[in-house]
Structure 1
Amino acid sequence: MTREDDLLTAYPPDTEVPAAAVAEAFDASGQVLVVLDDGPTGTQSVADLPVLTRWEVDDFAWAFGTPVTAGTTGGRPAAAVYVLTNTRSLDPEEAAQRNREVVTNALTAARAAHRSVTFTSRSDSTLRGHFPLEPDIIAATVQEASGQSTDGVVIVPAFPDAGRITVGGTHWARGPEGTLVPVAQTEFARDATFGYGTSVLADWVEEKSAGRYRADAVLGLDLQLLRTGSPDESTVAIADGLDAATERTPVVVDAVTENDLRRLALGLTEAERRGHTFVHRVGPPFVRARIGQEVATPLTAEAIPIPADASPGGLVVVGSHVGQTTRQLEALRRRRPRVRVVELDVERLLADTGDPVAETADRVTAALAGGDVVVHTSRTLVTADDPAASLAIARRVSAALVAVVRQVVATRRPRFVVAKGGITSSDVAAHGLGIVRAIVRGPMLPGIVSLWEPVDGPARGIPYVVFAGNVGDDEALADVVGTLSATADTSTPTDQEQPRD
């Protein structure tokens, strides 16, 4: 068994890097990051940034011109824009086409707005998603549109807030009591569509690219390099290391703390100043560090506005089937026994028996009049014999949940909506609630679980919480719902004030 403390003894200690220094360097570069988020959960590490679920040129024009209301960049236009592509739920051809459309339209809008764009492909910190397809398509589309080649694909899956770190080129998941588990030994590596067999990132690149990129050709930036001396010294060391990148060289990067990510950000800015160009393939916290945002404090009930016409109850939509989500759902039911629970029967849905969507929507709508409601799919995961068929089943189930939400919201506006699971969160946002443009207001838990403020559509003003399936401890969902429910009556003890088993 590997202990984190033992593993890190071989490397220099972590030292503070001010976010303001990173923000100053990034602002001076004149860039805006366009983040192609393959699921909506990438926003969980940032605050006060625009997010789009549609990517027409006029949507980018809105996002490029939208000033943030808080954070390090003051009232200037946002330093980053998120685009919810939801490509993790698509097959490779559809994912490629969607990436092309986003990049093409972003470049068109950026030229009109006189903004310089760098593209970031945000994906899963447990290595699931379309790789190397997505960064390849982004780089190729940029080159076709502007003639600009890409020197390196910078791969940073680390998500320390959620327990995923990279040390010595190996990607780890934190376990109990300071232990580490190689990520290939977790349930995420057995994903029916995006599974893999190694935790060594260079080998993972070779595996996922079917040998097109050999492991020995992958550049590595380890903690020894990132933690070289002062931030000024490490900036130069990192940029020197990146000088070797050419023709989309994969670059895998260690990261254990926010300071490691900030040092990388400074090094990337210096490498770009030298004339290098990169596409990023990253986990959620990279963008926060790259633009120099401070780590946002979790939102409190007092900071979450509720629409005046909202129902007494909020709606929690659970689609994820990972064990973490099931445990969190059980904890929510234990701690909040008055929450009404409605199940969407997946076997009936797939067998085309009756109309389980309409029946479920009717039950949820009626229950919202009395308080909070959880609607979830039946907990037995249904898969097929091949990845494509499994993905098709997942998309059909997600579409049914979306239809439930759409029918509910057409009749009754919930006080809030929480969506649990990556594909679920994306589909509920774009199709269930009709969100096209929103502002990410901040996290509900430290570094994870983001709250959006929709600025258009039927969900305008309804707090929308994006909650990945694979983050948070067993009590996390109950904690989030407790905070949101406390907005209903601040004289009633919140969920956090009630004893836990």
Structure 2
Amino acid sequence: MSERKVAVEPADLARQWPLPAKEQVHQELKRALEGCRRKMVVLDDDPTGVQTVHGLYVYTDWERETLLQGLRSEQPMFFVLTNSRGFTAEETERAHQEIGKNLAWAAREAGQPFVLISRGDSTLRGHYPLETETLRQTLERELETCYDGEIIMPYFQEGGRLTIGDVHYVKMGEQLVPAGMTEFAKDTTFAYTSSDLKDWCQERTGGRYRAEEMVSISLEELRDLDYPGITRKLMGVSGFQKVVVNAADDLDVEVFVTALMAALNQGKQFLYRCAAGLVRVMGGVEHRPLLGRAELRDRDNPNGGLVVVGSHVKKTSQQLECLLDGVDGLEEICFQAESALQPGGLEEERARVSARAQQVIRAGRTAVVYTSRQVLRVSQESADANLELSVRISRALTGVVSDLRERPSFIVAKGGITSSDVGIQALGVKKALVLGQAAPGVPVWKTGEESRFPGMSYIIFPGNVGEVTTLRDIVHELV
């Protein structure tokens, strides 16, 4: 399947690659995971990676004792929010060196083997390969181990991110469009051109890993239930070779993980760069129904809610417009991002917006605070400079939450950097329980006792997820 083919019809999938029997696949996976003693540690580059799981904890720091607590917990998996998508390359490298060292210490202290997963964006943005390369070097040095390969699997069904014939697709309406032909590939910080994941890996690694030397796990192998053949491929991986895994359904992931467990049990070691689809299956997490009003809104709280929108992708802007047009009882407050270009401008704008949001919430209405929609750039050459500007604006925007003197009845944050800043900087969350999802791919944290608003259901809405109506539907349920 060629990247030059602009779209794939979803109906083609069922015709060309029929799915295997669901119950058989489930039982094979269950048997494979039952014998797994490894703790699954997920590093999440923004808070949206928990968008397929529930009943697991997220930690917002990577201190030694925090990681030790996670490794000693009874749960099979825990998340560490790094927020590294909002870091510069230098900050990212430094953070992942520290994470590697602290995790190695904690693993020795706990006597607990682990699998380390780097959960990144399902539309291929982020500090790749820097994060996994840094982790590999640090852990191999600290633990005197050797990683044979790296699993590349950005599949995320809830967001319409499928990999077919090694080409990664983004669902847009009823079409699947190669990721390299979407707006996400033109990101001001993490731009790329390739949609074929082998070519993408070669592009992102500067040619250090060649596409023709990478291993591919095809849909044919997965849907034929070729467990021995897939395991043999994984057993042949060495030299941190890249393994591209195709997937267009959760059953594909389950088949792959079953074969993967067989390879791990025979001594193979891998790092993982993936989206949320692989995470759920690796953790053995079952699907659960979407959360409703009773679980998402404070009971008996007369105050209004708060929606904070920072993401600038086209989908977010469309969802914001649909929300403002479609729900009564809202007050829109535009945070002028252009104020960042003036000395002291962000501080003044934060004060203005904070005062108005507080008035609205106290009056029992819902405030929708959003950044002006123009994407600002300070440099055509420096991705780090553009990222730094985005982070400054996001922190001023989320400072509106820090300034609140009364508890809103609910909080929704839209966008990866925005939701991280709201959770960590504004709400002061150190440890949160993942309750589930408010909509497919839209996770919900229950904030910890240490946070600004303990026990609140905090709704984290990724910028690139959902239909045009999804944000409207969630807020309409809550107001």
Shorter chain as normaliser: what TM range?
Answer: over 0.9
Which stretch has the larger CA shift, 98-107 or 192-201?
98-107
* Structure 1 position 322 matched with structure 2 position 329: no
Query: 1:8 deviation in Å?
Result: 5.6
Query: 1:359 deviation in Å?
Result: 1.4
Conserved 8 A contact 1:51-1:63: no
Select the residue among 294, 297, 302 that pairs with 1:302.
Answer: 294
Which stretch has the larger CA shift, 205-214 or 113-122?
113-122
Query: 1:172 deviation in Å?
Result: 0.9
User: Counterparts of 1:19 and 1:441 in 2: how far apart (Å)?
Assistant: 23
- 1:60 is matched with which residue? 67
Secondary structure of the equivalent of 2:474? helix
- 1:498 is matched with which residue? none
Query: 1:136 deviation in Å?
Result: 1.0
Conserved 8 A contact 2:44-2:80: yes
Query: 1:15 deviation in Å?
Result: 3.4
Aligned CA distance change for structure 1 residues 194 and 277 (closer, same or farther; 3 Å) = same
Aligned CA distance change for structure 1 residues 59 and 159 (closer, same or farther; 3 Å) = same
Conserved 8 A contact 1:46-1:285: no
* Structure 1 position 365 matched with structure 2 position 361: no
User: Counterparts of 1:304 and 1:111 in 2: how far apart (Å)?
Assistant: 39
Aligned CA distance change for structure 1 residues 142 and 302 (closer, same or farther; 3 Å) = same
Aligned CA distance change for structure 1 residues 398 and 220 (closer, same or farther; 3 Å) = same
One-letter identity of the residue aligned with 1:34: V
Aligned positions, number? 466
Query: 1:151 deviation in Å?
Result: 0.5
* Structure 1 position 412 matched with structure 2 position 406: yes
User: Counterparts of 1:265 and 1:254 in 2: how far apart (Å)?
Assistant: 12
User: Counterparts of 1:426 and 1:20 in 2: how far apart (Å)?
Assistant: 37
- 1:426 is matched with which residue? 420
User: Counterparts of 2:172 and 2:398 in 1: how far apart (Å)?
Assistant: 34
Secondary structure of the equivalent of 1:150? coil
* 1:128-163 superposed Cα distances (whole Å, 9 cap, x missing partner): 111111111111111111111101100000111111
Select the residue among 105, 109, 121 that pairs with 1:108.
Answer: 105
User: Counterparts of 2:205 and 2:144 in 1: how far apart (Å)?
Assistant: 24
Matches for 1:439-450 after TM superposition, within 5 Å: 439-446=433-440, 448-450=441-443
- 2:44 is matched with which residue? 37
Secondary structure of the equivalent of 2:21? coil
User: Counterparts of 2:30 and 2:432 in 1: how far apart (Å)?
Assistant: 23
Query: 1:42 deviation in Å?
Result: 0.6
* Structure 1 position 281 matched with structure 2 position 273: yes
- 1:22 is matched with which residue? 29
Matches for 1:2-401 after TM superposition, within 5 Å: 2-6=8-12, 9-16=15-22, 19=26, 21-66=28-73, 77-177=74-174, 179-229=175-225, 234-304=226-296, 306=298, 310=301, 312-352=303-343, 353=345, 355-369=348-362, 370-384=364-378, 385-386=380-381, 387-401=383-397
Aligned CA distance change for structure 1 residues 22 and 164 (closer, same or farther; 3 Å) = same
Secondary structure of the equivalent of 1:197? coil
Conserved 8 A contact 1:19-1:294: no
User: Counterparts of 2:454 and 2:248 in 1: how far apart (Å)?
Assistant: 38
* 1:470-500 superposed Cα distances (whole Å, 9 cap, x missing partner): 0000011111222333xxxxxxxxxxxxxxx
Conserved 8 A contact 1:12-1:224: no
Query: 1:55 deviation in Å?
Result: 1.3
Aligned CA distance change for structure 1 residues 272 and 470 (closer, same or farther; 3 Å) = same
User: Counterparts of 1:7 and 1:48 in 2: how far apart (Å)?
Assistant: 32
Conserved 8 A contact 2:88-2:388: no
**Unaligned 5+ runs, structure 1:** 67-76, 486-501
User: Counterparts of 1:473 and 1:79 in 2: how far apart (Å)?
Assistant: 32
Percent identity, please: 35
Which stretch has the larger CA shift, 12-21 or 93-102?
12-21
User: Counterparts of 2:222 and 2:119 in 1: how far apart (Å)?
Assistant: 21
User: Counterparts of 2:53 and 2:177 in 1: how far apart (Å)?
Assistant: 27
One-letter identity of the residue aligned with 1:107: A
Conserved 8 A contact 2:443-2:461: yes
TM-score (norm 2): 0.93
Query: 1:115 deviation in Å?
Result: 2.2
- 1:496 is matched with which residue? none
Query: 1:390 deviation in Å?
Result: 1.2
Query: 1:122 deviation in Å?
Result: 0.4
Matches for 1:474-485 after TM superposition, within 5 Å: 474-485=468-479
One-letter identity of the residue aligned with 1:173: V
User: Counterparts of 2:435 and 2:28 in 1: how far apart (Å)?
Assistant: 23
**Unaligned 5+ runs, structure 2:** 1-6
User: Counterparts of 2:290 and 2:214 in 1: how far apart (Å)?
Assistant: 37
Query: 1:307 deviation in Å?
Result: 6.4
Secondary structure of the equivalent of 1:326? helix
Alpha-carbon RMSD across the aligned residues, in angstroms, is 1.7
TM-score (norm 1): 0.89
Conserved 8 A contact 2:154-2:277: no
